[in-house]
Chain A
Amino acid sequence: MSTREAPPVAGSGASRTPPPGTTANAAGAAPARRKPSKRHRVPFRARLRRDWPLLLMTLPGAIVLLVFHYLPALGNVVAFQDYNPWAGDTPLQAFLGSEWIGFGNFENLFSSDAFWEAVWNTLSITAFQLVFFFPLPIALAILLNSVLSTKLRSFIQTVVYLPHFFSWVLVVTFFVQMLGGAGLLAQEMREAGLQPWNIMTNPDTFIILVTAESVWKDVGWGTIIFLAALSTIDTELYEQSAVDGASRWRRLWHVTLPGLRPVIVLLLILRLGDALSVGFEQFILQRDAVGRGAAEVLDTFVYYHAIATGDYGFGAAAGLFKAAVGLLLILAANKMAHLLGERGIYSKS
């Protein structure tokens, strides 16, 4: 993780210098790593006496993370147990009383067809959304950026950011009400004498449906980071290329897209690192309507096998598999970004 003052992503090419307010910090911290600065020659106990209020302030947050993040992360070891919730009165006692079975859960997992089906569904949805969702915020941002009237533009922005703040229950509700069997579209089609097609319960088109829902919810929100990046592209570049006779489309290709490249690479890495997560609530909410064959993804697989049916060890094994592969993916994607000459999400500083 980078601890140095990161330049704003949007202008990572242009503004490498930290903002004015942070120079004091950066100057204080950066040399400290290479050779002890004056500040660091202060003896440890004196520094402790000076800094303890700051340490105390981080404590409550650190404890919450310890209990609700790191403890469950360690708790993943139930994947190596035949965890029996009735082996004790509390989960802790049950954990201590359960039998260790090595890789037994993983053997069951890897020989389970339902598991591979969930992996396949997850990866197909990721791939599909990479093609049909990922470019849309970029396109919409470029389009919005070309709207000259500031008033009109901020009106559109206000509207398209809003669905980002809706819960998945609400998003699915809106889709059911608009496109479902008793929804607005079906209603209008019946009135026009057409046979309404049911989109909400059709497993074959489910991948399109979930992508459409994700687009509806987040395409507007996704434009924010690209709009910020667009606003840092030097207008002189556009002017000069226009003077040199570059058309609108050539300017898009040779000025706009290269300007967006660092952000696109960054977001692509984050998406690839998260390839095994495609959303959770969205799928649980719709799994009953379209069936397991299409809507079972890794996260819902864990939920249904562990919490709903009580096979905790097996579910934890699937969860641990997902976490381990996810970690590898994010490290690999970041490495790739460095090889491509981009900053990536973190760097050794």
Chain B
Amino acid sequence: MSVQLATKLRKPSSRPVWEEKPTPVGLAIKGFILTAVVLAVLVPLWTVVVTSLSSRQTINEAGGLVMIPKGIDASAYVTIFSGGTVTKALWVSTIVTVVGTAVSLVLTVLAAYGLSRPGTVGHRSLLFYFLLTFLIYPGLVPSYLVVTGLGLKDSLWSLILPTAVSVFNLVVIRAFFQAIPQELLDSARIDGASELRILTRIVLPLSKAVIAVVGLFYAVGYWNTWFNALLYIDDNDKFPIQRILQSIVLQGQSPTFSGLPVGTSMPPTLAVKMAVVVVAVAPIAIVYRSIQRHLVKGATLGATKG
């Protein structure tokens, strides 16, 4: 992380002798700004989580969204996981995310490795072919016609294939591959290892960090897919979670729940809405936390190329 780089240049948590002491006013302003920035992210998240776990009474008392929790009532979650639109959409999004990320990583890693050695036949033209996508814009209308023309309408592949290869991610992985000492690969080649074997046995084990970051980028992209679903998916049973989130929370449609026994009292609508928001955020937040330490490296690596 850049933080570590910065701290190498400057001893952690100590002020250089030549730097003047900050004024109290300056410190106060700085603290205020940074606190405000952090709260701007945390307060909405906190409010949504607390409201999703609140009982009808707590919500009525607060007059809407709840900021101070009073007891925990998980009935909203029981409801949305009992079957019906939200459960279905979570399955769809999980399948699209898992399959999509796998397909994307395989395609991108193979192409990045194939393009990682200048001097191979056609290297420059191939690289140009990939990089030219940055300048040429496919256009919404022809893209729509191609995807529907391939018969992908109402198929989950329409959410995967059009975004399967991100050249930006390819450039990131390629840069990482090129930083691996070539002598290592050459000696394997002399020993008669095939390129695929070199890739899987030597290159990939050395590239776990960048694969994790690019995997996160792809997975988040697939989990967040909304517009392609608006274009290509008309079948309600195949809506991903973002479409459902939009229809329930932004358009105010009521979700259907199939698995609840007859006569069960429904949890408050607001709590259900907020629970849908939480299940849409939670996977991202969890994966983000686990990969975060590699993140800055991946993000800046990409910025240096392309």
Residue of A nearest to B150 (CB): A67
Whether A182 contacts B64 by the Cβ 8 Å rule is yes
Chain B contacts with A in 224-262, Cβ cutoff 8 A: 224, 226-227, 230-231, 242, 245-246, 249-250
Whether A162 contacts B288 by the Cβ 8 Å rule is yes
Chain B contacts with A in 8-54, Cβ cutoff 8 A: 9-10, 12-16, 18-20, 30, 33-34, 37-38, 40-44, 47-48
Interface string of A193-236 (1 = CB under 8 A from B): 00000000000000000000000100111001101101110010
Q: Does B89 contact A (CB under 8 A)?
A: no
Q: Does A25 contact B (CB under 8 A)?
A: yes
Closest-CB distance, B122 to chain A (whole angstroms)? 7
Whether B5 contacts A231 by the Cβ 8 Å rule is yes
* CA distance in complex: A51, B113 (Å): 12
Whether B140 contacts A156 by the Cβ 8 Å rule is no
* CA distance in complex: A48, B129 (Å): 19
Q: Does A170 contact B (CB under 8 A)?
A: yes
Which residues of chain A come closer than 8 Å to B33, judged between CB atoms? 143
* CA distance in complex: A322, B230 (Å): 22
Whether B295 contacts A48 by the Cβ 8 Å rule is no
Given A58-B110, A231-B9: A242 and B18 interface contact (C-beta under 8 Å): yes
* CA distance in complex: A28, B194 (Å): 21
Q: Does B144 contact A (CB under 8 A)?
A: yes
Which of A111-119, A121-129, A145-153 is the interface stretch?
A145-153
Which residues of chain B come closer than 8 Å to A216, judged between CB atoms? 40-41
Interface string of A135-162 (1 = CB under 8 A from B): 0000010011111111001101111111
Whether B246 contacts A19 by the Cβ 8 Å rule is no
Chain B contacts with A in 59-74, Cβ cutoff 8 A: 62-65, 67
Which residues of chain B come closer than 8 Å to A57, judged between CB atoms? 110-111, 113-114, 195-196, 199
Which residues of chain A come closer than 8 Å to B102, judged between CB atoms? none
Given A64-B164, A169-B226, A285-B250: A54 and B113 interface contact (C-beta under 8 Å): yes
Residue of A nearest to B299 (CB): A224
Q: Does A104 contact B (CB under 8 A)?
A: no
Given A25-B178, A47-B121: A62 and B226 interface contact (C-beta under 8 Å): no
* CA distance in complex: A195, B214 (Å): 47
Closest-CB distance, A49 to chain B (whole angstroms)? 10
* CA distance in complex: A179, B202 (Å): 52
Q: Does A332 contact B (CB under 8 A)?
A: no
Given A21-B181, A327-B135: A54 and B142 interface contact (C-beta under 8 Å): no
Interface string of A75-90 (1 = CB under 8 A from B): 1101000000000001
Chain A contacts with B in 304-349, Cβ cutoff 8 A: 306-307, 312, 315-316, 319-320, 322-323, 326-327, 330, 345-346
* CA distance in complex: A73, B143 (Å): 8
Given A21-B182, A166-B284, A187-B63: A76 and B133 interface contact (C-beta under 8 Å): no
Chain B contacts with A in 91-129, Cβ cutoff 8 A: 106-108, 110-111, 113-115, 117-122, 124, 126-129
Q: Does B300 contact A (CB under 8 A)?
A: yes
Given A57-B195, A58-B110: A173 and B133 interface contact (C-beta under 8 Å): no
Closest-CB distance, A71 to chain B (whole angstroms)? 5
* CA distance in complex: A340, B144 (Å): 40
Which residues of chain B come closer than 8 Å to A242, judged between CB atoms? 18-20
Which residues of chain A come closer than 8 Å to B246, judged between CB atoms? 169, 285
Interface string of B121-156 (1 = CB under 8 A from A): 110101111111111111111111111111000000
- A-side residues, CB < 8 A to B, are 1, 3, 5-10, 19-22, 24-26, 28-29, 32, 39-40, 44, 47-48, 50-51, 53-58, 60-62, 64-65, 67-76, 78, 90-92, 95, 140, 143-150, 153-154, 156-163, 165-170, 172-174, 176-178, 182-184, 187, 190-191, 216, 219-221, 224-225, 227-228, 230-232, 235, 238-239, 242-243, 247-248, 280-281, 284-285, 299, 302-303, 306-307, 312, 315-316, 319-320, 322-323, 326-327, 330, 345-346
Please list the 7 inter-chain residue pairs (A to B) with the smallest Cβ-Cβ separation, ordered nearest first. Answer: A75-B142, A29-B118, A61-B111, A167-B224, A72-B138, A58-B114, A57-B114
Known: A21-B182, A319-B139. 19 other contacts (CB 8 A): A1-B128, A21-B179, A60-B106, A60-B111, A65-B133, A67-B146, A69-B138, A75-B138, A143-B34, A161-B292, A162-B41, A166-B281, A167-B226, A169-B224, A173-B245, A227-B2, A227-B296, A231-B2, A238-B16
